[in-house]
Amino acid sequence: MKLFTPTLLALGLLLCSPGFAQVASQDFDSIMLYTLKNSSGTTVTVTNYGAIITSIVVADRDGNMGDIALGYNSADDYMNAVDKPYFGAVVGRYGNRIAKGKFSINDVEYTLAVNNGENSLHGGIIGFDKVVWDATPVGDNALTLTYLAKDGEEGYPGNLVVSVTYTLTEENELKMHYQATTDATTPVNLTNHTYFNLKGEGEGTILGHELMLNAKKFTPVDEGLIPTGELRDVDGTPFDFTTAKAIGRDIEEENEQLTFGGGYDHNWVLDKEGKEGEMTLAARVKEPTTGRVLEVYTTEPGVQFYCGNFLDGRLKGKAGKPYVHRSGLCLETQHYPDSPNQPNFPSTLLEPGEKYDTTTVFKFSAE
Ligand code: BGC
């Protein structure tokens, strides 16, 4: 059994000297746990299984430290839990859904592994969240994880060399830099699937968190959560987060899109205002009782806001508390779902000789 127990986790933390951001590692066979730490005491732990962020410990407005990322204490749980909600993982080769697991490139049809009804979700049956990555510490505050996804893996064309570098800065930012190259044209859409609860993991629902999304449009879906192709105005709908509001405020409104998603589980079209491909603010979340704030910046054109509608209390977290319905929220920066089948969406195709290069930043503070 491969384990990273709280004790070993604590050992990892001990290896970090205060005052400097440091990366420390523990070896559990091939599954490792790495700790990034900065001088304000923020710590982020990452495992090379699925490039998963297993914890993010940050201060609240009174300086109390708390772990705001849902997850488990052992590698075994990540691998064998009854349900696999992609806690903290990098999802790929294609984050979110591809309709019926099919797409064509130059009139050649590809068939993917299908794992979500008739659709392919988050890279298929064994996506990037369920493989072991190679890990290399970079300097004293960063970690690069690399994976070779072979031609044909889960049905995708092309050998894809993919990497993500996590950097924890002194400004309390966790930077995620994704890069990839391929030897055959292939769709690529990488994101991180951390579930946040700014009160602390296991501390009830996220319905009181106040969310702002920098988006005037979203991509409505059908019953299978596949985009219809429309970019719809959020104005006058429960999907309007242009000014911050509690996530729970409109979530029970009668609305076909909320019914299809079982709540919010949609892609918002970020307002890039001519700054396509540049880093812009995507989202801001504040938890009023602790004052903890998360800001998300990204070079990506979209963000999937998913509010843990499929959590149902069966999974227990790091402190042994059940992850109840809507007890975590994901802000998955990305290209839009099903882009390979949607001619009007920005392309996700990576060609040989090109470099996939995107960055997303989670910035933590308290007020
Ligand atoms: C999807 C949800 C899915 C969840 C898996 C999200 O990115 O949009 O529909 O259930 O990931 O945990």
265 has binding-site annotation: yes
* Rg, the chain, Cα only: 19
Task: Tell me if 258 is assigned to some domain.
Answer: yes
Residues 277 and 304 reside in one and the same domain = yes
Beta bridge partners, 298, equal 280, 360
Q: What is the pLDDT of residue 25?
A: 56
96 has binding-site annotation: yes
Task: Tell me if 356 is assigned to some domain.
Answer: yes
Q: φ, ψ for residue 292 (rounded to 5)?
A: -70, 140
Residues 277 and 139 reside in one and the same domain = no
- Residues 6 or more apart from 330 whose CB is under 8 A from it? 193, 194, 195, 196, 304, 305, 306, 307, 308
Residues 149 and 265 reside in one and the same domain = no
- Is the pLDDT at 45 greater than 80, yes or no? yes
Nearest CA to ligand 1 atom 12: 85
Residues 172 and 237 reside in one and the same domain = no
Residues 175 and 219 reside in one and the same domain = no
**Is-catalytic flag, 122?**
no
122-159 pLDDT tens trace: 999 999 999 999 999 998 899 999 999 999 999 999 99
Find out whether 71 and 129 touch, Cβ atoms under 8 Å.
no
193 has binding-site annotation: yes
Tally Cβ neighbours within 10 Å of residue 140: 15
**Is-catalytic flag, 332?**
yes
pLDDT class for 1, splitting at 50, 70, 90? very low
d(CA 175, CA 152) in angstroms, rounded, equals 30
- Token pair 């966790």 in the structure block, residue: 174
- Token pair 């790929």 in the structure block, residue: 92
Atom from ligand 1 closest to the CA of residue 86: 12
Nearest CA to ligand 1 atom 7: 96
316-363 pLDDT tens trace: 999 999 999 999 999 999 999 999 999 999 999 999 999 999 999 999
Task: Tell me if 230 is assigned to some domain.
Answer: yes
Residues 242 and 165 reside in one and the same domain = no
Nearest CA to ligand 1 atom 9: 265
d(CA 310, CA 178) in angstroms, rounded, equals 27
Residues 256 and 135 reside in one and the same domain = no
Kindly give the distance from the C-alpha atom of residue 235 to the centroid of ligand 1, in angstroms, as a whole number.
24
Task: Tell me if 147 is assigned to some domain.
Answer: yes
Residues 267 and 181 reside in one and the same domain = no
278-305 pLDDT tens trace: 999 999 999 999 999 999 999 999 999 9
The parent domain of residue 47 ranges over 6-97+128-192
For a substitution probing ligand 1, which of 97, 98, 121, 300 has the most ligand atoms within 8 Å of its CB? 121
Task: Tell me if 221 is assigned to some domain.
Answer: yes
- Ligand 1 neighbours, Cβ below 6 Å, are 85-86, 96, 225, 265, 304, 306, 310, 332
Find out whether 67 and 6 touch, Cβ atoms under 8 Å.
no
Give the amino acid at 29: D
Atom from ligand 1 closest to the CA of residue 261: 9
For a substitution probing ligand 1, which of 219, 310, 311 has the most ligand atoms within 8 Å of its CB? 310
Task: Tell me if 107 is assigned to some domain.
Answer: no
Nearest CA to ligand 1 atom 5: 85
d(CA 117, CA 120) in angstroms, rounded, equals 8
- Is the pLDDT at 112 greater than 80, yes or no? yes
195 has binding-site annotation: yes
The one catalytic residue among 193, 209, 266, 335: 193
Residues 52 and 12 reside in one and the same domain = yes
Find out whether 162 and 190 touch, Cβ atoms under 8 Å.
yes
Task: Tell me if 203 is assigned to some domain.
Answer: no
Residues 218 and 305 reside in one and the same domain = yes
Kindly give the distance from the C-alpha atom of residue 17 to the centroid of ligand 1, in angstroms, as a whole number.
38
- Is the pLDDT at 121 greater than 50, yes or no? yes
Residues 170 and 290 reside in one and the same domain = no
The one catalytic residue among 266, 287, 332, 335: 332
Kindly give the distance from the C-alpha atom of residue 96 to the centroid of ligand 1, in angstroms, as a whole number.
7
Beta bridge partners, 280, equal 298
- Residues 6 or more apart from 19 whose CB is under 8 A from it? 39
Nearest CA to ligand 1 atom 8: 265
CB half-sphere exposure, 182, CA atoms < 13 A: 22
Residues 332 and 283 reside in one and the same domain = yes
Q: φ, ψ for residue 257 (rounded to 5)?
A: -65, -40
Tokens, residue 102? 């099919």
Task: Tell me if 160 is assigned to some domain.
Answer: yes
Whichever domain contains 359, its CATH number is 2.70.98.10
Q: How many domains does the chain fold into?
A: 2
Lowest mean pLDDT among 28-32, 242-246, 321-325, 351-355: 28-32
Q: Which of 138, 161, 192 is the last residue of a domain?
A: 192
Kindly give the distance from the C-alpha atom of residue 59 to the centroid of ligand 1, in angstroms, as a whole number.
28
Q: Which of 160, 192, 224 is the last residue of a domain?
A: 192
